[in-house]
Amino acid sequence: MGQLTLNLIAISVFLVTFATLLGPLLQIPQAVPAIAVVTVLAIAIIDQAQWNGTVGNLLLGGLNRFSAAQRQRVLHHEAGHLLVAHLLSIPVTDYSLTAWDAWRKGFPGQGGVQFDTATLEAAMGTGQIPAQLLNRYCMVWMAGVAAEQLMYGDALGGQDDRQKFTILWQQLGRTVQQGLAQQRWALLQAKTLLEQHREAYQTLVEAMAEQSPVGDCQALLTEKGAKPTDQPS
Protein backbone atom coordinates (compact mmCIF):
# COMPACT_ATOMS: atom_id res chain seq x y z
CA MET A 1 0.00 0.00 0.00
CA GLY A 2 1.35 3.42 -0.95
CA GLN A 3 2.65 5.84 1.66
CA LEU A 4 0.08 8.44 0.66
CA THR A 5 -2.80 6.01 1.20
CA LEU A 6 -1.35 4.96 4.55
CA ASN A 7 -1.10 8.61 5.61
CA LEU A 8 -4.73 9.21 4.66
CA ILE A 9 -5.79 6.16 6.68
CA ALA A 10 -3.77 7.29 9.70
CA ILE A 11 -5.28 10.77 9.58
CA SER A 12 -8.79 9.39 9.16
CA VAL A 13 -8.39 6.97 12.07
CA PHE A 14 -7.09 9.79 14.26
CA LEU A 15 -10.06 12.01 13.40
CA VAL A 16 -12.52 9.18 13.97
CA THR A 17 -10.91 8.34 17.32
CA PHE A 18 -11.13 12.00 18.28
CA ALA A 19 -14.80 12.01 17.28
CA THR A 20 -15.41 8.89 19.36
CA LEU A 21 -13.98 10.53 22.46
CA LEU A 22 -16.06 13.66 21.94
CA GLY A 23 -19.11 11.75 20.73
CA PRO A 24 -20.99 11.86 24.02
CA LEU A 25 -20.44 15.61 24.29
CA LEU A 26 -21.44 16.29 20.69
CA GLN A 27 -24.23 13.72 20.72
CA ILE A 28 -22.68 11.73 17.83
CA PRO A 29 -24.12 8.20 17.55
CA GLN A 30 -21.54 5.56 18.49
CA ALA A 31 -22.00 3.74 15.18
CA VAL A 32 -20.91 6.75 13.11
CA PRO A 33 -17.14 6.57 13.88
CA ALA A 34 -17.05 2.80 13.24
CA ILE A 35 -18.85 3.18 9.91
CA ALA A 36 -16.49 6.00 8.95
CA VAL A 37 -13.40 3.87 9.68
CA VAL A 38 -14.70 0.94 7.64
CA THR A 39 -15.61 3.26 4.76
CA VAL A 40 -12.21 4.97 4.70
CA LEU A 41 -10.35 1.65 4.86
CA ALA A 42 -12.45 0.19 2.05
CA ILE A 43 -11.91 3.20 -0.19
CA ALA A 44 -8.17 3.24 0.53
CA ILE A 45 -7.77 -0.47 -0.25
CA ILE A 46 -9.80 -0.25 -3.46
CA ASP A 47 -7.94 2.91 -4.47
CA GLN A 48 -4.57 1.22 -4.09
CA ALA A 49 -5.57 -2.14 -5.59
CA GLN A 50 -7.71 -0.98 -8.50
CA TRP A 51 -6.77 2.62 -9.18
CA ASN A 52 -3.04 2.71 -8.31
CA GLY A 53 -3.62 5.26 -5.54
CA THR A 54 -5.28 7.73 -7.93
CA VAL A 55 -7.93 8.93 -5.47
CA GLY A 56 -5.33 9.65 -2.79
CA ASN A 57 -3.11 11.41 -5.30
CA LEU A 58 -5.99 13.57 -6.51
CA LEU A 59 -6.88 14.54 -2.95
CA LEU A 60 -3.29 15.47 -2.15
CA GLY A 61 -2.97 17.23 -5.50
CA GLY A 62 -6.04 19.30 -4.71
CA LEU A 63 -4.49 20.39 -1.42
CA ASN A 64 -1.14 21.16 -3.06
CA ARG A 65 -2.82 23.43 -5.60
CA PHE A 66 -3.24 25.94 -2.78
CA SER A 67 0.49 25.88 -1.94
CA ALA A 68 2.63 28.01 -4.22
CA ALA A 69 5.79 26.73 -2.53
CA GLN A 70 4.84 23.10 -3.17
CA ARG A 71 3.98 23.81 -6.81
CA GLN A 72 7.38 25.43 -7.33
CA ARG A 73 9.17 22.50 -5.73
CA VAL A 74 7.34 20.02 -7.96
CA LEU A 75 8.12 22.19 -11.00
CA HIS A 76 11.86 22.25 -10.23
CA HIS A 77 11.85 18.51 -9.49
CA GLU A 78 10.26 17.60 -12.82
CA ALA A 79 12.43 20.07 -14.75
CA GLY A 80 15.45 18.23 -13.39
CA HIS A 81 14.12 14.97 -14.82
CA LEU A 82 13.41 16.49 -18.23
CA LEU A 83 16.75 18.28 -18.58
CA VAL A 84 18.87 15.25 -17.65
CA ALA A 85 16.78 12.98 -19.88
CA HIS A 86 17.31 15.41 -22.76
CA LEU A 87 21.07 15.51 -22.16
CA LEU A 88 21.30 11.72 -22.01
CA SER A 89 19.06 11.09 -25.06
CA ILE A 90 16.35 9.37 -23.02
CA PRO A 91 13.10 10.02 -24.95
CA VAL A 92 10.47 12.08 -23.09
CA THR A 93 6.89 11.71 -24.27
CA ASP A 94 5.06 14.18 -21.99
CA TYR A 95 4.89 15.58 -18.49
CA SER A 96 2.38 16.74 -15.87
CA LEU A 97 2.89 18.91 -12.82
CA THR A 98 -0.19 17.98 -10.79
CA ALA A 99 -2.08 14.81 -10.01
CA TRP A 100 -5.10 16.33 -11.74
CA ASP A 101 -3.17 16.85 -14.98
CA ALA A 102 -1.79 13.33 -14.71
CA TRP A 103 -5.29 11.89 -14.29
CA ARG A 104 -6.60 13.95 -17.21
CA LYS A 105 -3.81 12.69 -19.46
CA GLY A 106 -4.18 9.10 -18.29
CA PHE A 107 -0.82 8.90 -16.52
CA PRO A 108 -0.38 6.52 -13.58
CA GLY A 109 0.13 7.76 -10.04
CA GLN A 110 0.98 11.43 -9.64
CA GLY A 111 2.30 11.78 -13.19
CA GLY A 112 5.52 13.76 -13.59
CA VAL A 113 7.81 13.35 -16.61
CA GLN A 114 6.92 10.37 -18.80
CA PHE A 115 9.86 8.52 -20.36
CA ASP A 116 9.90 6.12 -23.27
CA THR A 117 11.40 3.03 -21.65
CA ALA A 118 11.08 0.72 -24.69
CA THR A 119 14.86 0.41 -25.07
CA LEU A 120 15.31 -0.42 -21.39
CA GLU A 121 12.46 -2.94 -21.43
CA ALA A 122 13.86 -4.61 -24.55
CA ALA A 123 17.25 -4.96 -22.86
CA MET A 124 15.60 -6.39 -19.73
CA GLY A 125 13.88 -8.96 -21.92
CA THR A 126 17.26 -10.28 -23.01
CA GLY A 127 18.51 -10.41 -19.43
CA GLN A 128 21.46 -8.19 -20.33
CA ILE A 129 21.27 -4.43 -19.75
CA PRO A 130 24.29 -2.50 -21.06
CA ALA A 131 26.00 -0.64 -18.22
CA GLN A 132 25.80 2.66 -20.09
CA LEU A 133 22.03 2.34 -20.58
CA LEU A 134 21.50 1.38 -16.94
CA ASN A 135 23.58 4.33 -15.77
CA ARG A 136 21.61 6.75 -17.94
CA TYR A 137 18.24 5.71 -16.59
CA CYS A 138 19.54 5.75 -13.01
CA MET A 139 20.74 9.34 -13.51
CA VAL A 140 17.39 10.37 -14.99
CA TRP A 141 15.48 8.81 -12.09
CA MET A 142 17.66 10.61 -9.54
CA ALA A 143 17.62 13.94 -11.40
CA GLY A 144 14.46 15.18 -9.64
CA VAL A 145 16.02 14.67 -6.22
CA ALA A 146 19.24 16.31 -7.47
CA ALA A 147 17.29 19.35 -8.68
CA GLU A 148 15.51 19.75 -5.36
CA GLN A 149 18.76 19.49 -3.44
CA LEU A 150 20.39 22.11 -5.63
CA MET A 151 17.48 24.54 -5.35
CA TYR A 152 16.29 23.92 -1.78
CA GLY A 153 19.09 22.11 -0.02
CA ASP A 154 16.96 19.00 0.51
CA ALA A 155 14.48 16.81 -1.35
CA LEU A 156 10.90 16.07 -0.34
CA GLY A 157 9.98 14.18 -3.51
CA GLY A 158 11.57 11.24 -5.27
CA GLN A 159 9.90 8.29 -3.54
CA ASP A 160 8.39 7.04 -6.80
CA ASP A 161 11.73 7.49 -8.57
CA ARG A 162 13.55 5.45 -5.94
CA GLN A 163 10.86 2.79 -6.15
CA LYS A 164 11.37 2.44 -9.91
CA PHE A 165 15.09 2.08 -9.30
CA THR A 166 14.55 -0.49 -6.54
CA ILE A 167 12.23 -2.61 -8.68
CA LEU A 168 14.73 -2.68 -11.54
CA TRP A 169 17.62 -3.41 -9.17
CA GLN A 170 15.77 -6.37 -7.67
CA GLN A 171 15.02 -7.73 -11.13
CA LEU A 172 18.73 -7.56 -11.91
CA GLY A 173 19.49 -9.58 -8.78
CA ARG A 174 21.93 -6.99 -7.43
CA THR A 175 22.59 -6.48 -3.71
CA VAL A 176 21.07 -3.69 -1.63
CA GLN A 177 24.54 -2.28 -0.93
CA GLN A 178 25.28 -2.10 -4.65
CA GLY A 179 21.94 -0.39 -5.21
CA LEU A 180 22.60 2.29 -2.60
CA ALA A 181 26.04 2.94 -4.09
CA GLN A 182 24.52 3.20 -7.59
CA GLN A 183 21.91 5.69 -6.34
CA ARG A 184 24.57 7.88 -4.73
CA TRP A 185 26.64 7.80 -7.90
CA ALA A 186 23.63 8.59 -10.12
CA LEU A 187 22.57 11.44 -7.83
CA LEU A 188 26.02 13.00 -7.98
CA GLN A 189 26.20 12.67 -11.76
CA ALA A 190 22.73 14.19 -12.23
CA LYS A 191 23.58 17.07 -9.93
CA THR A 192 26.75 17.74 -11.92
CA LEU A 193 24.80 17.90 -15.19
CA LEU A 194 22.30 20.33 -13.68
CA GLU A 195 25.07 22.55 -12.33
CA GLN A 196 26.75 22.59 -15.74
CA HIS A 197 23.53 23.73 -17.41
CA ARG A 198 22.01 26.09 -14.85
CA GLU A 199 20.92 28.69 -17.41
CA ALA A 200 19.22 26.07 -19.55
CA TYR A 201 17.61 24.63 -16.43
CA GLN A 202 16.10 27.97 -15.41
CA THR A 203 14.80 28.47 -18.95
CA LEU A 204 13.22 25.03 -18.81
CA VAL A 205 11.57 25.77 -15.45
CA GLU A 206 9.97 28.88 -16.94
CA ALA A 207 8.79 26.98 -20.02
CA MET A 208 7.31 24.12 -18.00
CA ALA A 209 5.54 26.61 -15.73
CA GLU A 210 3.74 27.76 -18.88
CA GLN A 211 3.02 24.09 -19.72
CA SER A 212 4.98 24.30 -22.98
CA PRO A 213 4.96 21.09 -25.06
CA VAL A 214 7.90 18.71 -24.65
CA GLY A 215 9.21 19.49 -28.14
CA ASP A 216 9.29 23.23 -27.41
CA CYS A 217 11.03 22.61 -24.09
CA GLN A 218 13.72 20.52 -25.75
CA ALA A 219 14.21 23.11 -28.48
CA LEU A 220 14.78 25.78 -25.84
CA LEU A 221 17.31 23.56 -24.10
CA THR A 222 19.23 23.08 -27.33
CA GLU A 223 19.21 26.84 -27.95
CA LYS A 224 20.72 27.33 -24.48
CA GLY A 225 23.53 24.90 -25.28
CA ALA A 226 22.12 21.88 -23.49
CA LYS A 227 22.53 19.38 -26.29
CA PRO A 228 22.34 15.58 -26.01
CA THR A 229 25.82 14.15 -25.62
CA ASP A 230 25.32 10.99 -27.67
CA GLN A 231 22.82 8.21 -28.29
CA PRO A 232 22.12 5.58 -25.61
CA SER A 233 23.41 2.07 -26.15
Confidence at 232, pLDDT banded by 50, 70, 90 = very low
> Given this model, what pLDDT does residue 12 score?
61
> Given this model, what pLDDT does residue 74 score?
93
Res. 5: pLDDT tops 70: no
The reply to whether the predicted model has a pTM over 0.95 is no
Higher local confidence (pLDDT), 232 or 82: 82
Higher local confidence (pLDDT), 30 or 119: 119
Residue 96 DSSP label: E
In the chain, the percentage of residues whose pLDDT exceeds 70 is 69
* Residue 27 burial (CB count, 10 A): 7
In sequence order, the 6+-apart residues with CB closer than 8 A to the CB of 50 are none
**Model pLDDT for residues 43-56, shown as the tens digit of each residue:** 656 655 555 555 55
Cα gap 138→186, rounded to integer Å: 6
> Given this model, what pLDDT does residue 53 score?
54
In sequence order, the 6+-apart residues with CB closer than 8 A to the CB of 99 are 54, 57, 58, 60, 61, 62, 64, 110, 111
Res. 203: pLDDT tops 60: yes
Averaged over 85-93, what is the pLDDT? 96
CA distances from 29 to 5, 32, 33, 151 (A): 27, 6, 8, 50
Averaged over 221-230, what is the pLDDT? 89
> Given this model, what pLDDT does residue 128 score?
84
**Model pLDDT for residues 180-199, shown as the tens digit of each residue:** 999 999 999 999 999 999 99
Higher local confidence (pLDDT), 164 or 58: 164
147-177 core/surface letters (b: 16 or more CB in 10 A; e: else): bbbbbeeebebbebbeeebeebbeeeeeeee
Cite the DSSP H helix spans in the chain.
Answer: 3-26, 31-51, 54-64, 68-87, 99-105, 118-126, 131-152, 159-172, 176-196, 198-209, 214-223
> Given this model, what pLDDT does residue 1 score?
45
> Given this model, what pLDDT does residue 201 score?
98
> Given this model, what pLDDT does residue 233 score?
41
Q: 3-state DSSP call for residue 233?
A: coil
Cα gap 150→120, rounded to integer Å: 28
Instruction: Say how far residue 192 (Cα) sits from the centre of its chain.
Output: 20
The CA-based angle 119-212-115, given to 5 degrees, is 15
Averaged over 116-124, what is the pLDDT? 91
Cα gap 68→196, rounded to integer Å: 27
Res. 220: pLDDT tops 80: yes
* Residue 179 burial (CB count, 10 A): 18
**Model pLDDT for residues 136-162, shown as the tens digit of each residue:** 999 999 999 999 999 999 999 898 899
* Residue 197 burial (CB count, 10 A): 21
> Given this model, what pLDDT does residue 178 score?
95
Confidence at 21, pLDDT banded by 50, 70, 90 = low
